[in-house]
Amino acid sequence: MSKHTTAIFCEAHPEPPFWRVQFETLNLPRPGCFLLADFGGPLREVLFPAGLSAGGFSVLVPPGHPVQRLLPGETVDLLGPFGRGFQTEQVERLLLVAEAHLLPPLLPLLEAAPMVTLVLAAPTRALLPPARRFPPSVELHLITQDGSVGYAGTLETCHGADSPLLEAVQWADRICASCDSAFYPKLARIVRQQRLNPPANFAQALIQIAMPCGVGACEVCRVQTVNGERRACTDGPVFDVLDFGL
Amino acid sequence: MIELAPNHKFGLPIATPVMPAAGAFGYGDEYHDLVDYRCLGALVTHPISLHPRRAAHPPRIILRGETLLIHTGHPNPGLNAILRQFRELWARLGLPVILHVLAANPAEMVEVVDKLAGETAIHGIELGLDEHTSVEKALALLRSIRLNSDFPVIVRLPFSGVATLAQPLAEAGVDALTLTSPPRGVLPLPEASGDGSPPLMRGRLYGPALFPLLLHQLHTWIPRLPVPVIACGGISSTADARACLALGASAVQLDAVVWRHPDLLATIAKELAYDAGNTAL
Ligand code: FES
């Protein structure tokens, strides 16, 4: 099937700190996979789905994004879906780990397993989405750098005895993370410490970096892994977190 | 057919004057879901070096208006790995494959062409020269290909080196010249604060702003050069391609615009074919 497709812009509404933008299309990306959208700039923009339904998907974009200038019914030129997404089949206890500004690609997974725990970090309470946005079945653990709500600290420093992250890693049978890539070697260490012989893809990490071509042609998206350099667009953007730390 | 190497014993005929530029299109069929390869005159590979090269440290791309600054470091797994992975695919592609080669010195170039001996799926070499290449080094690299292989040789000239390199290379028997590789540029990193001198990123410039610079180069140099010239830099429409051909370019290469509009390669090829009275494409 051609990877050149279109989506119809339906509507956009504020969902602070983002805007949620709804598209209709037949070519639906899996969670963690991405589309390249042409909004008129010199490069296409990477879109990760933040919501999926039968006939379309939604994305979360920052305020002022060019997509807000579209009129309902306008078509957007898309390439994709591309990449290797999250694998969450046959998972009972799913742990999601995210920094608040990188959370959107994990949102389609909030109901991907019977039991879902979300560990969500932000510098301060005001930068966290309100708890009512999440399905009631999701167990939410918050981490704020200033201690304004939840555990005081960052994902990087969240490894004390009372750390919600360590406990959740022990509990989960799958982890999906969307964080700054500098955190992934640390997450790999935590996984190795908390789990004996974690199977491949037990913990999956999404890399969000520039991906101009999406097909492995430009070499802009290379990431360093323990197995050498890989392309985020074709080898990822979801990787086994153990690829980032022995 | 357009002949890119009229003075070469085998020649390098291409069916359409449109091809991707080195660094824009990967090594083989990365775009098989998006591009009609039958419309391409040739496949020009990503830059390939004798030994593996690692990627430059991120960030590797900065956007400024319509202009892109890119510094990838030309990562590639090295010639042996590339040949292992792609030679069968190239043989099946049904179009000329031009290997874009980076070589640090003539000895390395000799090793490269030795490894290419007997590679029937490769139809030509495009030698990439950097901004600091002297005339002596450029001629020595060309000689090391000529003396050790039968491949038609195209040299992609650095933007700032056309005036010094083009004529000596043409006189030394290069088959064709690509004008030019992307000019170099520097930009402050976007996240840099206003205090002190900002960290800078150096790289190659892409985008439609380069097109007038390309036309200037073509206008200046094509009348003085006795070899075919391939135009490269900022071409982003059929009108741009027509302007290059009107100035005497034999073919055009599309670079970063392919990432946004992969179908532009086929669109331009079809429209140029239509201009030439060929509606079969
Ligand atoms: S986005 Fe171009 S190689 Fe990955």
Q: What is the pTM of this model?
A: 0.94
Determine, yes or no, domain membership for B193.
no
CATH number reported for the structural domain that contains residue B177 in this entry: 3.20.20.70
Separation between Cα atoms, residue A102 and residue A178, nearest integer Å: 6
Question: What mean pLDDT is predicted for residues A205-228?
Answer: 96
Position B263 scores a pLDDT of 96
Determine, yes or no, domain membership for B197.
no
Q: Which atom of ligand 1 is nearest to the CA of A216?
A: 3
Among the partner residues B33, B58, B66, nearest to A2 by beta-carbon distance: B33
Percent of residues, chain A, with pLDDT higher than 90 = 81
- Above 70 in pLDDT, residue B202? yes
Position A1 scores a pLDDT of 55
Determine, yes or no, domain membership for B97.
yes
- Above 70 in pLDDT, residue B162? yes
Nearest residue in B to A209, CA atom? B59
Flag if B67 and A220 touch (Cβ within 8 Å): no
What tens digit of pLDDT does each residue of A153-189 get?
999 887 777 788 999 999 999 999 999 999 999 999 9
Give the domain extent around B152: 2-57+72-185+205-275
Position B276 scores a pLDDT of 83
Question: What mean pLDDT is predicted for residues B246-262?
Answer: 98
Q: Which atom of ligand 1 is nearest to the CA of A233?
A: 4
Position A103 scores a pLDDT of 96
- Above 80 in pLDDT, residue A220? yes
Q: What SS3 string covers chain B?
A: CEECCCCCCCCCEECCCEEECCCCCCCCCCCCCCCCHHHCCCEECCCEECCCECCCCCCCEEEECCEEEECCCCCECCHHHHHHHHHHHHHHHCCCEEEEEECCCHHHHHHHHHHHCCCCCCCEEEEECCCCCCHHHHHHHHHHHHHHCCCCEEEEECHHHHHHHHHHHHHCCCCEEEECCCCEEEEECCCCCCCCCCCEEEEEEECHHHHHHHHHHHHHHHHHCCCCEEEECCCCCHHHHHHHHHCCCCEEEECCHHHHCCCHHHHHHHHHHHHCCCCCC
Contacts of B58 in chain A (CB under 8 A): 209
Determine, yes or no, domain membership for B198.
no
Residue B238 vs residues A111, B65, B235, B243: alpha-carbon distances, Å: 48, 22, 8, 9
Determine, yes or no, domain membership for B39.
yes
Determine, yes or no, domain membership for B52.
yes
DSSP H or E segment with residue A60: strand A56-61
* Chain A contact residues (CB < 8 Å to B): 1-4, 38, 41-44, 79, 209-210, 212-220, 222, 229
Q: In what order do the strands lie in the sheet with B184-188?
A: B61-64, B67-70, B200-206, B184-188
Supply angle C-alpha A96, A100, A101, rounded to 5.
120
Flag if B33 and A1 touch (Cβ within 8 Å): yes
Domains of chain A with bracketed CATH: 4-82 (2.40.30.10), 93-244 (3.40.50.80)
Determine, yes or no, domain membership for B65.
no
Position B192 scores a pLDDT of 59
Question: What mean pLDDT is predicted for residues B62-86?
Answer: 96
CB within 6 Å of ligand 1 — which residues? A 211-214, 216-221, 231-233
Strand partners, A12: A21
Contacts of B33 in chain A (CB under 8 A): 1-4, 215
Separation between Cα atoms, residue B115 and residue B82, nearest integer Å: 11
ipTM computed for the complex: 0.93
Flag if B258 and A1 touch (Cβ within 8 Å): no
- Above 80 in pLDDT, residue B197? no
Supply angle C-alpha B120, B125, B126, rounded to 5.
155
Separation between Cα atoms, residue B80 and residue B20, nearest integer Å: 23
Determine, yes or no, domain membership for B162.
yes
CB–CB of B35/B11 below 8 Å? no
Question: What mean pLDDT is predicted for residues B65-92?
Answer: 96
Flag if B34 and A38 touch (Cβ within 8 Å): no
Flag if B260 and A43 touch (Cβ within 8 Å): yes
Alpha-carbon distance A163 to nearest alpha carbon in chain B (angstroms): 32
> How many domains would you assign to chain B?
1
What tens digit of pLDDT does each residue of B92-135 get?
999 999 999 999 999 999 999 999 999 999 999 999 999 999 99
Q: Which atom of ligand 1 is nearest to the CA of A210?
A: 1
